[in-house]
């Protein structure tokens, strides 16, 4: 212990108050464990403050503006004016409400809260450095620890996030104006979600991607549906190109320079460039080696199916532990970690972890694809229902995409599903439950669904897999 430190003890020390950490802390406290949660920045982590929630708020707001201005077919004629500053204020209000709620929930569950940055001293001790000059530090001795420090945007050479015209996703979610020309480096889910937002707000958007398509590793027809809609919004794509740098353009803007593997170069005019090529774990200041933990070459902490690291009493959850880097997966892992520490027989099952992309249209998946199932040796039954045959989808004006359900042909057990289309992020819950509970095609198909709803498409896909669909042609 450093001279002058305050020394305290706790049964469970949770480092990081994102969706993995705060959930773990609350569940540990609910199990009667003395629990301390350390956060250096803001409760809710990247998800609530800089990612999931603010991005979905802007996706909703920009979508509403675009819908209002493009509903002539429905007999609606409007030219909405977007007040970006007001939109950002509204988004911030949503974020503030949720983050303050997290803090209140932690206190209500008797979690001890400490503001500061934690680092390991040894396998049972951590030092918490408090922010601000003269604030000092304290030492916390723990029986168990849960590392939940999350991730941050990956930087690429030639693009310094300190430059005003080089955006992270966080900067894109707090902009004070809509750029006339936006180049997005990276066609993954973050890049595509924000490209869609800014295209709907009026930017001329160009997406540069090193791979040959967007949204790797989703299936080709899923990608095609999203890409076609994005192109209809005016988004321009350039594949097989990596961004190498930028220079000042002749009109006072910038030229974003790219290069292919063959050495061919191109440049694209921009007022702002958004770099969205992935995320990396936050472990640099943790000094995990002092606790006897090693990280991978990419900085991730390896864990087992009970979230334990190589040091059994130290757990890691969420992005810092690697894929799937999803907020809801982090929360589930946090619950498992807390329950394992409490002596319960909890363990992770990654088969029923859904994923969603909030593009237009949305994409959501769970479990196995048809190719996955075949590779595992299943005799596969596949059913689909296109949204252009859904009465409810037609009444919303959004008919792109489909529901696909993948099952074992012999037993009928649902193995997975893929949805691209309106409200896919909501609809995937039904297929996730089917995978989790071991439901069959008959279970899904024989469940009466409300009419008219988008969810009927799930039922019809299950019927289609059995060759008895009513409202779409059987395969």
Q: Which token pair is 57?
A: 């708020």
Calculated CA dihedral for residues 261, 265, 194, 154, nearest 10 degrees: 60
Q: Strand 117-122 relative to strand 112-115: parallel, antiparallel, unpaired? A: unpaired
* Distance of alpha carbon 47 from alpha carbon 290, whole angstroms: 28
Tell me the Cα Rg of the chain: 24
Q: Contact, 152 vs 18, CB < 8 A?
A: no
- What b/e readout covers 81-113, taking b as 16+ CB neighbours within 10 angstroms? ebebeebbeebeeebeebbeebbeebeeeebbb
Q: What is the DSSP letter of 143?
A: E
Which residues, at least 6 apart from 151, have a Cβ–Cβ distance to it below 8 Å? 46, 279, 280, 281, 282, 319, 320, 325
Residue 289 dihedral angles phi and psi, to the nearest 5° = -60, -30
Q: Which token pair is 9?
A: 């003890």
Q: Contact, 190 vs 168, CB < 8 A?
A: no
- The set of catalytic residues is 451
Residue 398 dihedral angles phi and psi, to the nearest 5° = -120, 100
Q: Which residue has the tokens 């966080």?
A: 170
* Distance of alpha carbon 55 from alpha carbon 435, whole angstroms: 28
Q: Which of 330, 409, 241 is nearest to 27 (CA)?
A: 330
Q: Tell me the CA distances in angstroms from 265 to 243, 244, 273, 274, one per residue in order.
A: 10, 9, 17, 19
- What b/e readout covers 154-174, taking b as 16+ CB neighbours within 10 angstroms? eebeebeeeeeebbbbbbbbe
């Amino acid at each position: 212990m450093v001279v002058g430190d305050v020394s305290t003890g706790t049964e469970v020390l949770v480092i990081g108050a994102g969706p993995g950490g705060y959930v773990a802390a609350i569940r540990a406290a609910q199990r009667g464990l003395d629990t301390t949660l350390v956060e250096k920045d803001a409760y809710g982590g990247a998800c609530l403050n800089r990612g999931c929630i603010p991005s979905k708020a802007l996706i909703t707001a920009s979508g509403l503006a675009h819908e209002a201005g493009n509903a002539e077919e429905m007999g609606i004629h409007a030219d909405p004016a977007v007040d970006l500053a007001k939109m950002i204020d509204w988004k911030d209000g949503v974020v503030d409400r949720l983050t303050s709620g997290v803090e209140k929930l932690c206190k209500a569950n008797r979690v001890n809260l400490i503001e500061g940055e934690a680092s390991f001293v040894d396998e049972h001790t951590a030092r918490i450095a408090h922010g601000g000059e003269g604030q000092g530090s304290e030492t916390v001795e723990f029986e168990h620890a849960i590392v939940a420090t999350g991730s941050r945007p990956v930087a690429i050479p030639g693009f310094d996030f300190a430059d005003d015209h080089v955006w992270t996703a966080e900067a894109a979610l707090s902009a004070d104006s809509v750029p006339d020309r936006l180049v997005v480096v990276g066609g993954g889910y973050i890049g595509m979600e924000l490209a869609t937002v800014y295209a709907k707000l009026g930017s001329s958007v160009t997406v540069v991607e090193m791979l040959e398509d967007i949204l790797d590793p989703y299936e080709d027809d899923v990608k095609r549906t999203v890409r076609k809609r994005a192109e209809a919004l005016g988004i321009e794509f350039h594949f097989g190109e990596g961004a190498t740098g930028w220079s000042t353009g002749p009109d006072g803007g910038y030229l974003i320079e790219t290069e292919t593997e063959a050495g061919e170069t191109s440049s694209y005019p921009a007022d702002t460039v958004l770099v969205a090529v992935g995320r990396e774990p936050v472990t640099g200041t943790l000094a995990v080696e002092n606790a006897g933990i090693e990280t991978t070459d990419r900085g991730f902490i390896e864990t087992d199916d009970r979230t334990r690291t190589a040091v059994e009493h130290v757990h890691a959850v969420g992005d810092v532990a690697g894929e799937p880097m999803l907020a809801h997966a982090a929360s589930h892992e946090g619950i498992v970690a807390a329950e394992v520490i409490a002596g319960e027989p909890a363990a992770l099952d990654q088969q029923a972890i859904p994923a969603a992309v909030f593009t237009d249209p949305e994409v959501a998946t769970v479990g196995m694809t048809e190719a996955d199932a075949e590779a595992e040796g299943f005799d596969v039954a596949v059913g689909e229902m296109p949204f252009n045959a859904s009465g409810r989808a037609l009444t919303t004006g959004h008919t792109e995409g489909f529901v696909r359900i993948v099952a074992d042909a012999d037993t009928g057990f649902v193995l997975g599903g893929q949805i691209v289309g309106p409200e896919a992020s909501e609809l995937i819950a039904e297929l996730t439950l089917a995978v989790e509970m071991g439901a069959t095609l008959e279970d899904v198909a024989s469940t009466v669904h409300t009419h008219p709803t988008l969810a009927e498409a799930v039922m019809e896909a299950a019927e289609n897999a059995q060759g008895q669909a009513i409202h779409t042609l059987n395969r």
